[in-house]
Amino acid sequence: MKKTLIGFAAVAAAAALVLTGCSDPTTGGGGSAPADWPAQDAKLDGVELTIWAAQNSNKVPESVIKGFEKLTGAKVDVETIPDPYEQGVQTKVATGDKPDLAFWQPTGSQLTALNAATNLQSLDGAPWLDATSEDLRDITGFLDDTRYAALITTPAVEGVYYNKKVFADAGVTDLPTDWDSFIELGRELKAGGVTPFYEMAADRWSTQWWIHVQLADAAADGLWDRVNANEEKFTDPTILSTIETYKGLIDEGLFNEDIKTATFEDQGDALLAGDAAMVVQVNSFFGQLQAKASAEELDEKIGFFPIAPSGNIGTFIPDQSNALVAFKTGDATKEAAARQLLSYWLGDGYPDFVEAQNTVSLQDGVETPDTVPSALLAVSDSLGSAVGSMQVHAIANPDLYIFLADMIQGTKTPLEVAEATQEHFAELAKAQGAEAF
């Protein structure tokens, strides 16, 4: 009798857990009307806020937090989520764990990944928007026409970092003005015994930049809208041909010999030492160079120009350290305090922040420190005309970079890269409930 009772109890308990457990813990939220924006200096004694940050962004808010705590009496904690940051945050949020604010890539695909409509506060009508430079105000941070992310620094741009000395030694005086002249320059350098391009297939992630920059014009022409609607595929000529071009350049010998085993660190060393002339990379690459050389040396040695088939157009790709999102936590006081912190960050706290980070200002009224390296200024200058990368416009972010690295290792052909990417993209799009998939 007792045995059957226990058996019954166990089955009942298990069944109850299965039934109650079978709903997403992140359900809830609701109402998305833009809320009021408290004054920057409203008192917040006893309020504690948590900011999630990655290993490379957890020092970013220091000056802001200090100022904000002093001004309002709030307490702000930065919690570092280990790398891979995006995966860690997504997993935590999926299980119902949320901070008040988090660093987050402000792109459509990444906001979708956080289920923005349910989990994030709308930042429409934020007080700092008027002060933000017009070029940059609406560049990113939206999903379905709602603003969810606050841009704090200039988004990264994919473009060409080059070694000025290598160019000078090879007698190059004019920078390439379009894709053809860029490749032509590569061939000339190669003929002169210089390694024109350097790629790092062991660390994989930068392989996709070569595809993105080739697609800049197509992207401006609505390529990603068509991909999102499943009207155009990665296997169609527009994208496939860029993969084939990339493969062709590698086969032609225009890249470093150790392309298969080279890492991010090797790439930085090679460009600094002049072992290679050019690298297609983003801002974090320059961050890597800054860790290895002084500001003067970098100004002297390293330059930047954007590139696209039709001219010097950059491809921008904001990353996690460029922006913050505010979560709907269900606690009205904390939600308002989180908005207040953002107003302060991009309001009275912004000059200090730009100074402390030694970075380019997003606001016309706040001056960029003159110690910012020239290459970074060139990067931010290119933003005005830049086009969004795949991550910005596509609804999902497939593992294109992994498949491209596979191609470099020799286990995939360009067509197989396109097929695998399309398949992965469709899978992600379907999971999001995209209509066409």
Partner 1 sequence: MSSRPRGRRQDHPLWFLLPALAVLVIFFFVPTIFNFVYAFTDWSSFKSGIGFVGFDNFVSLFTSGTLVNALRVTLVYAVLVAVFQNVFGIALALLLEKDTRLNRAARVAFFVPVIMSALAVGYIFQALLKPEGALNEILGFVTGTEVSIAWLGDTTWTIVVVAIVHSWKWMGLSMLIYLAGLKTISADVLEAGRLDGASWWQTFRHIRMPLLAPAITFNVATALLGSMNGFDIVQATTEGGPGGATELLNIFIFRTFGQGLFAQATTMSLVLFLMVTILAFPVIRFLRKREDVL
Question: Binding partner 1 by CB under 8 A: which of 64, 74, 114, 120?
Answer: 114
CA angle (395 as vertex; 245, 103 as ends), nearest 5: 105
Contacts of residue 34, Cβ cutoff 8 Å, sequence gap at least 6: 122, 123, 124, 125
Stretch that binds partner 1, among 79-87, 132-140, 325-333, 344-352 (CB under 8 A): 79-87
- Which region, judged by CB under 8 A, interacts with partner 1, from 8-16, 150-158, 224-232, 315-323? 8-16
Q: Count of residues binding partner 1 (CB under 8 A)?
A: 51
For β-strands 323-326 and 315-317, DSSP reports them as unpaired
Instruction: Write the binding mask 198 to 237 for partner 1: x where contact by CB under 8 A, - elsewhere.
Output: ---xx-x---------------------------------
23 binding partner 1? (CB under 8 A): yes
Instruction: Considering the complex, state which of residue 6 and residue 295 has its C-beta at the smaller distance from partner 1.
Output: 6
Residue 415 binds partner 1 (CB under 8 A): no
Q: Is 21 in the site for partner 1 (CB under 8 A)?
A: yes
Q: DSSP class of residue 192?
A: T
Q: Per CB under 8 A, which region of 162-170, 310-318, 342-350, 407-415 contacts partner 1?
A: 407-415
Residues near 225 by Cβ (< 8 Å), separated by ≥ 6? Answer: 393
Residue whose pair of structure tokens reads 């995006």 in the numeric block:
86
Give, to the nearest 10 degrees, the angle between helix 237-251 and helix 414-432.
140
93 binds partner 1 (CB under 8 A): yes
Nearest CB to partner 1, comparing residues 357 and 391:
391
Does position 32 interact with partner 1 (CB under 8 A)? The reply is: no
Show the CA angle centred on residue 420, arms to residues 418 and 422, nearest 5°. 65
If one counts every other C-beta atom within 10 angstroms of the C-beta of residue 64, the result is 24
Looking at beta carbons only, is 223 or 429 nearer to partner 1?
A: 429
How would DSSP label each residue in 370-400?
TTS-HHHHHHHHGGGG-EE-HHHHSSS---H
DSSP code for 159: E
Instruction: For the segment 230-269, give every residue that binds partner 1 (CB under 8 A).
Output: 258, 260-261
Verify binding: residue 86, partner 1, rule CB under 8 A.
Answer: yes
Which of the stretches 123-131, 163-171, 271-279, 410-418 binds partner 1 when contact is defined by CB under 8 A? Answer: 410-418
Distance CA 31, CA 122 (A): 10
Residues with Cβ within 8 Å of 182's Cβ and at least 6 positions away in sequence, in order, are 160, 176, 307
Instruction: Examine residue 427 and tell whether it contacts partner 1 (CB under 8 A).
Output: yes
55 binds partner 1 (CB under 8 A): no
Is the separation of the CB atoms in 141 and 148 below 8 Å? yes
Binding footprint of partner 1 on the chain (CB under 8 A): 2-3, 6, 9-10, 13-14, 17-18, 21-24, 26-28, 84, 86-88, 90-91, 93-94, 112-115, 118, 201-202, 204, 258, 260-261, 399, 402, 405-406, 408-412, 420, 423, 427-428, 431-433
